[in-house]
Chain A
Amino acid sequence: MASTTTPSNPTPPSLSLPPSQFARLQPHAYLLAHLSPPPASNQPSIRANGRATSQFRVTSANAGSLTHTNGSAVVRIGDTAAVCGVRAEILHTKDIASWSVLQASAEQKFDKSNETGVPESQDEEDKGHIQDLNLLVPNLSLSTGCAPGFTPGAPPSALAQSLSHQILSLLHTSRLVKADDLRIWYQPPNLDSEEFHNAGEGMEVDTEESGGPEREIKAFWVLYIDVMIISLAGNPFDAAWASVLAALRDTKLPKAWWDADNETILCSDDVADAQKLSLRGLPVSSSFCSFESDVAAGWRAVVIPDAEEQKQKKGAQQRWILADPDGYEEGLSQERVSVVVDKENGKTVIVKMEKHGGWTVDSDDLRHLVDVSAQRWDEMKRILDQC
């Protein structure tokens, strides 16, 4: 685009601007010129950052980066980088105010589900414990100097808070973490049987002896999931969620048991005893934004056509759906689409889908975006498996 001049031949200051300056002065026209090059120039339609419309940025992930956490990961998507650390703490059931009530109601439910024989009762119980007791506590921080707009050390911005909520809500709806991994059980010794004399410690974790006293939950693991966005160049949610996913896959919980004599929870400091979390599936998030050629379309009241009309004459209002938008592109578009997909036996399942901020994307486009997200899932799985 810019003609290179040799330094030996000084030219008078020209009136044309270098591309970088044009990008700042006329950001919309700059991106539009890249996406719709004049037909004579034979250039392909490409984004200002050199990517094709449905191309994601180069992604890398590294797990186990922090030594003092139970699990951690650094994920970098282009220039957006997120660090996530998972710290596990013990929550005694005697510290839960409503524990006896909760347990009673859970038992009732359990009886009912036994009668009807619903196989998913385990899942429901999982959801209940994790959600009611707040066993997952994600927090996202943007006040790290990640971008010029965010002052370091400032209170969490509205964006940071809403991202924290999105992560928490996605952890709950995707039921990623199994509640059974977070429970610390105690099997009271069967004082009547003779086995007790041989059993020694009498606190086997996984014994299913019939006739003995029922085993009970003594404590839970609470996972504090802290995400720091250390560099923000658009699309923070994908990076944050990928880092949470990688950190949870890396998380190891030490073997813990209830010591009846000391009336406390003891943990084994042997790494070999520690167990990894078994996660349900691998939901991968992909975000898109829609860039419209005519910015004025939104506020010229008369020109907004019906949805059907709009479909028929596509040339009237051109728009491009850009995958994994960077900060520059995010500033130029209002309409956002976010799709979280998982694959079960090769079949694509949507875990979450949201779109708001405009009216140009409808079901045909969303169907295409789900396909793009499914391809992204394969890519992300490969990256996360390697890290």
Chain B
Amino acid sequence: MFGPIASLSQLNRADGSASYKCPATGYSILGAVNAPIELPARRDALKPEEATVEVFVKPGTTTAGVGERYVEGILRSVLGKIVLGREKGFPRRGVVITLAIVGGENVERGDSYLTILPALLHAALLAMISASVPLSMTFSATLLGVTKSGDIVRDPSPTAAKAAVSLHVFAFSSKNHLLLNESEGRFEFDTWELVRERALSICQGVISSDGDVTMDEGTTSASLNGFIRETVEDQVYSDYAYKLDSI
């Protein structure tokens, strides 16, 4: 199975940007972050002691509709919680995240937005790291589907997601907190716990019996948290290449 593909700081004019492509679901997201910036004419809506996080989701072929409003609300509440909005220079200002869906199937009216949610979350996180927005923790997210026969499928394609009995999106922080859970379809709580366990192992890598995360070559690249880390490391390495050469 192919892992996701991501690269940082592709756009010149934005403070930070990232592109993220998930080959399994086919979605490709381009994210841009501007922070901290003055939000014009929003004085009344701003909290005096914190930064305001704004998220905009642009679908590939149409204008944004009610589904986008919904997913923007979820992203805002997840990202707003991990942004350190009280750092110097951030209160009363805005962190504006724009996510454009540049590839993948369209999400029609009334369709579930869960299939695209992990890709949006990852693109937003990488773009915020690229913009050097202070964060209290990083996270990784995954989509799992439960088929009629009870199998748990990782990253089902849009057609497979439609056929699935239940769909689950989980986001785990780098410290194993459950940050986000969105589940729909018909399922029981025991099924949900199985799916949660599977999602945790996908996000954090295989946890061995003594509670340590095994850090072998194979497993780190397989875990999504490791993938986020590696992407950022690669970017830092190329950014500071001139320093490394001079040593």
Chain A interface (Cβ < 8 Å from any Cβ of B): 120, 131, 134, 136, 158-159, 161-162, 164-166, 168-170, 172-173, 298-299, 301, 304-308, 310, 334-336, 342, 347-359, 361-363, 366-367, 370
Contacts and interface: CB of A to CB of B under 8 A. Distances in A.
Sorted nearest first, the 7 A-B pairs with minimum C-beta distance are A359-B177, A357-B77, A161-B69, A307-B176, A162-B70, A165-B70, A165-B66
Interface of B is mostly: mixed
B70 A161 contact: yes
Contacts of A306: 175-176
22 contacts: A131-B111, A136-B110, A161-B65, A161-B66, A164-B66, A299-B85, A299-B136, A301-B134, A304-B137, A308-B176, A334-B80, A348-B188, A351-B185, A351-B186, A354-B181, A356-B78, A357-B78, A358-B81, A362-B178, A363-B178, A363-B193, A367-B189
A298 B184 contact: no
B187 A349 contact: yes
Interface residues of B, number: 45
A169 B175 contact: no
Contact of A355 (B69, B111, B178, B187): B178
A307 B74 CA distance: 22
B177 A172 contact: no
Contact of A158 (B73, B80, B110, B113): B73
A370 B189 contact: yes
Contact of A350 (B77, B85, B187): B187
Given A131-B110, A306-B175, A349 B81 contact: no
Contacts of A334: 77, 80-81
A193 to B, nearest CB: 41
Contacts of B155: none
Given A173-B185, A299-B50, A357-B78, 6 more contacts: A162-B72, A165-B113, A168-B109, A299-B84, A353-B184, A356-B77
Contact of B112 (A173, A357, A363): A173
Interface string B34-50: 00000000000000001
Contact of A356 (B67, B180, B196): B180
Given A173-B112, A304-B175, A351-B186, A298 B180 contact: no
A306 B137 CA distance: 11
Contacts of A172: 110, 112
